[in-house]
Structure formats: C-alpha cells, structure tokens
Amino acid sequence: MADTGNIRVGSMILGMIQTNCYFLYVEDGRDHSKGVLYDDPTPVIFVDPADRGEFIYEALSTRGFKIEKILLTHGHFDHIGGADELRKLSGAEIIAYEKEKEVCESKEKNLSINYGEGFTIIPDKYLEDLSVIEAAGMTCQLIATPGHTVGGCCYYFEKGKILMCGDTLFEESVGRTDFPTSSMGSLVRAINERLMVLPDETVCYPGHGDLTTIGHEREYNPFI
C-alpha cells in the first residue's frame, strides 16, 4: 500500500492477465489492516476491477472501506471483468471516457469473446476529456490518452501527484497497439502531449507491472 501525501493507494492483482487493480482513499488515521468494521466506513475510489467483483467487495468491506466510485481506464476484458458485479454489490457508479463506448459495449472489441461467450460493460457515465471527478474526498481529472484503445484514458490526482495510467504507459514501455481501435501513433502522441507535461515526481500506477514516475519515463522510455 503506497503512501502519497494524505492519499493512500492500495492494490490487488486479479485475473488471468495479472491486472493491477487500485483503490484510493484519504488517510484518516484508521488501521485498515486488521479487518475492523466501522459504522462509517472509509470511502474509496476503485480503478479497473479486473475480475471477481464479489471478492473485491468483501475484501474492502471487511477492512472498513466503502466503494464510492469505480473508474475504468479502458474497456478491455481484463480491466472490466469484475466491474458489473462490484457495481451491484457496492452501489457505486462506473465511469469511463466517452470515446471508449464502442470498446466497453462490444465483446469483440473488448476481446472478451476470445475467452468464452464474452461480456460487456455499460458505464453509468461516459465523461468528456478533462472532466473533473470528485469522490471519496478526492478530486481527479480524466485525461484522454487514446492509442491502446480508441477511448483509453488516465486519471490524474494532482494533489497527490498520482496518475492511474492503465495500459497507456508502463515502466520503460507503452501499451500494445495490435488490438481493435489501437493506434501506435495516437498512443505515443497522447503520452508525449498529455502525460509528459506532468511533474517529474508524478507516480504512475499502470495496469500491469511495476510503478514508475513521469520523470523516469521521460528519461528512459525508448518509445517516447
């Protein structure tokens, strides 16, 4: 569990592609490691519920958390597999970037059809680029970063210098662009124009692999 200012970031790895799922909350002095239940649980924002929505819900609930908002960085199956179940259990709304509608709502484009009958997700809200989201005592901004998918996006928490970057940016790498709606040109342009302008100390939380920073990627990422 990372500590970034007064915003804490927890994580779990779920699904067949070992997807990083994150939850963010404002530090409130409580010990959430001992399974203590509270009458007023700490609200969290959950990012990319990859799989096992019931497991996510139970794991956080038994540690004194309440999911207030669910954010999707993109609509690939390995990032949305637990979203619908988590929404039903928690009552939290799901948010995605408006240009990701065709991926979220297509079994073929979200790639889930390749692993069985396939499934889709219909977010409660599709937001515009640069929309501001306020939830769980935090504020973040949706930054459109098309390329891995046509409607891929990141969520920037300026106060904590935190970037939830999904499969857009990885440690010394970038997301794949051999999928439906992908574009390497768009991806590299989005990273350079939308992400590399952020402060060097911004911590990047990718959909797979290890954490990195904007400063590190600016210096060592061969793709940008």
pLDDT of residue 2: 55
113-140 per-position pLDDT tens digit = 999 999 999 999 999 999 999 999 999 9
List the alpha helices (DSSP H) in 62-203: 77-80, 83-90, 101-104, 184-190
Mean pLDDT per 10-residue interval, the chain, length 224 residues: 76 97 93 79 98 97 96 98 98 98 98 96 98 97 98 98 98 98 98 98 98 98 95
210-221 per-position pLDDT tens digit = 999 999 999 999
Q: Could you give the CA distance from residue 54 to residue 52 in angstroms, rounded to a whole number?
A: 5
pLDDT of residue 31: 81
Tell me the CATH number of domain 2-220, given options 1.20.1260.10, 3.40.50.1260, 3.60.15.10, 1.10.3720.10.
3.60.15.10
Cα–chain center distance at 216: 20
Report the SS3 class of residue 58.
helix
| CA atoms lying within 13 Å on the CB side of residue 220 | 11
Close Cβ partners of 58 (under 8 Å, ≥ 6 residues apart): none
Cα–chain center distance at 111: 18
Two tokens, residue 115:
């692993």
Query: What's phi and psi for 135, nearest 5 deg?
Result: -165, 150
Q: Could you give the CA distance from residue 217 to residue 153 in angstroms, rounded to a whole number?
A: 18
Two tokens, residue 200:
């060097």
